[in-house]
Structure 1
Amino acid sequence: MATLDIKNLHVSVETEAGPKPILHGVDLTVSDGEVHAIMGPNGSGKSTLAYAVAGHPKYTITDGSVTLDGVDILSMTVDERARAGLFLAMQYPVEVPGVSVANFLRTAKTAIDGEAPKLRTWVKDVNQAMGQVNLDASFGQRNVNEGFSGGEKKRHEIVQLELLNPAFAILDETDSGLDIDALRIVSDGVNRFSGQGDRGVLLITHYTRILRYIKPDKVHVFVGGRVAESGGAELADRLEAEGYDRYLKAGEVSAPAGAGN
């Protein structure tokens, strides 16, 4: 089971002028086996939602609740959230000099499972996961994301998703900076994960192109720090044709200046 339930979530970020509200009462439920896409313009708070749920210390939750399978995750540390089954693929994966991909992956797997994987089986699993995203096995000896292209960084995150196999994945603009071949490879990885049937996915994106490969069960329009409208996959097609202006012009919500992505 992998139901993520977000209720009345309010989030602010600390600035030199004091706390700045970014999210203004987000309500969202993603059940196990579902793929939900969040679409919205820059500055609407999409990435803030992802990082706040994952536990980034930059963001302060001032109201609301977030549960994973009925368990409150807001009281958990970041590592506890990961062990509870939450996974975040970052929009801009960071470089970790001095730490090899192989050591990083095995350390992460050990932390999640509470015991180190058997080495012979683990090497086979890692090589298979890398092969599925067209990464050569030699990538395991390179420092994490150091010197990787944008596409290689995103494919490496799919390797992490494959090996850690969390209950719920939040993918923050996984499609950004990908060419068409890398987009297909990354999408295939997400589909393998969600295809297990008991895994939930919250996919954050600006564009509909990734939704040609990953079919969402629901699409949510995110503007001004809240969900402005929800619908089926056809809503993404409408956004492609019409854009987001009508939500702002209609006065349904107003995007606060400086809101996060």
Structure 2
Amino acid sequence: MSTLEIKNLHVQVETNDGPKQILRGVDLTINSGEIHAIMGPNGSGKSTLAYSIAGHPKYEVTEGEILLDGEDVLEMSVDERAKAGLFLAMQYPVEVPGVSVSNFLRTARTAVDGEAPKLRTWVGEVKDAMERLRMNPDFANRDVNSGFSGGEKKRHEILQMELLRPKFGILDETDSGLDIDALRIVSEGVNRVHEETNTGIMLITHYTRILNYIKPDFVHVFVDGRVAEQGGGELAERLEAEGYDRFLQAAH
């Protein structure tokens, strides 16, 4: 059993007008096997939370802690965070021309595990994972995210998660830009990783449609850099019906 604890997290970013405070005291605890949905309007700090956990240099933590099984995540480099079991599926995955998907995946797995996977078993593992995500075998030979459709990029993110088996997967708007078929396939992939490896999931989204496929244990509403309300799956249904207006009015 692993635990990811976020305590009183304050984060700022540098802008042309000087530092801007984004997160204003976030408290959140995720345990192995739990699915937490982070919902909220644009600009509420959801992606900032994801990037701060992953170690993006643009985001400066000014107060608070992030602990993974009691270890100080903020003292770790980005690659150390990945080795410790944190995984970020980005909203806008970066193109890496000249690096094939197969090389990228094997290098990532080697870095996380500390040793290269045995080639014969690894090839079978990748093939099986790609089949489950309805990905063409030729996909492995393509350059990472170069010329990928939105759906292909998101499937590739889930493919990485399936092969790297993190303790915690942070999915930043994995549903954005997906048609209904791709949404279902990606959601099945997330559920599979969650069930097979007991991975804790932080699912960041605007919309409740992905929650029809991935059932959250907890829902947290983000407004103005704070958790404005939290509850179970029923809270997502209420948001679908009412929107974020009452939270936005309360914040101002």
Normalising by structure 1, we get a TM-score of: 0.95
Query: 1:84-95 maps to which residues of 2 (within 5 A)?
Result: 84-95=84-95
Query: 1:91-170 maps to which residues of 2 (within 5 A)?
Result: 91-170=91-170
Q: Which residue of 2 aligns with 1:77?
A: 77
Query: 1:204-243 maps to which residues of 2 (within 5 A)?
Result: 204-243=204-243
In the alignment, the residues of structure 1 paired with residue 84 and residue 6 of structure 2 have an alpha-carbon distance, to the nearest angstrom, of 16
- One-letter code aligned to 2:243: G
3-state SS, counterpart of residue 66 of structure 1: strand
Q: 1:179 to 1:110 in 2, by over 3 A?
A: same
Query: 1:240-255 maps to which residues of 2 (within 5 A)?
Result: 240-250=240-250, 253-254=251-252
Q: Which residue of 2 aligns with 1:15?
A: 15
- One-letter code aligned to 2:111: A
Check whether the contact 1:32–1:197 (CA below 8 A) recurs between aligned residues.
no
3-state SS, counterpart of residue 74 of structure 1: helix
Q: Which residue of 2 aligns with 1:44?
A: 44
In the alignment, the residues of structure 1 paired with residue 96 and residue 196 of structure 2 have an alpha-carbon distance, to the nearest angstrom, of 31
- One-letter code aligned to 1:10: H
Q: How many residues align?
A: 252
Runs of 4+ aligned residues of structure 1 deviating over 3 Å after TM superposition are: none
State the superposition RMSD in angstroms.
0.8
* Identity over aligned pairs, percent: 73
In the alignment, the residues of structure 2 paired with residue 18 and residue 112 of structure 1 have an alpha-carbon distance, to the nearest angstrom, of 36
3-state SS, counterpart of residue 196 of structure 1: helix
Deviation at 1:17, TM superposition (A): 2.1
Check whether the contact 1:8–1:26 (CA below 8 A) recurs between aligned residues.
yes
In the alignment, the residues of structure 2 paired with residue 156 and residue 67 of structure 1 have an alpha-carbon distance, to the nearest angstrom, of 28
Unaligned runs of 5+ in 1: 255-261
- One-letter code aligned to 2:176: S
- One-letter code aligned to 1:32: S
Normalising by structure 2, we get a TM-score of: 0.98
Check whether the contact 2:165–2:197 (CA below 8 A) recurs between aligned residues.
no
1:206-235 per-position Cα deviation (integer Å, ceiling 9, x unaligned): 000000000000000000001000000000
Deviation at 1:196, TM superposition (A): 3.0
Check whether the contact 1:2–1:198 (CA below 8 A) recurs between aligned residues.
no
Q: Does 1:176 align with 2:167?
A: no
1:101-131 per-position Cα deviation (integer Å, ceiling 9, x unaligned): 0000000000000011111111111111111
**By percentage of residues, which structure has more helix?**
2
Check whether the contact 1:30–1:36 (CA below 8 A) recurs between aligned residues.
yes
1:71-96 per-position Cα deviation (integer Å, ceiling 9, x unaligned): 11110000000000000000011110
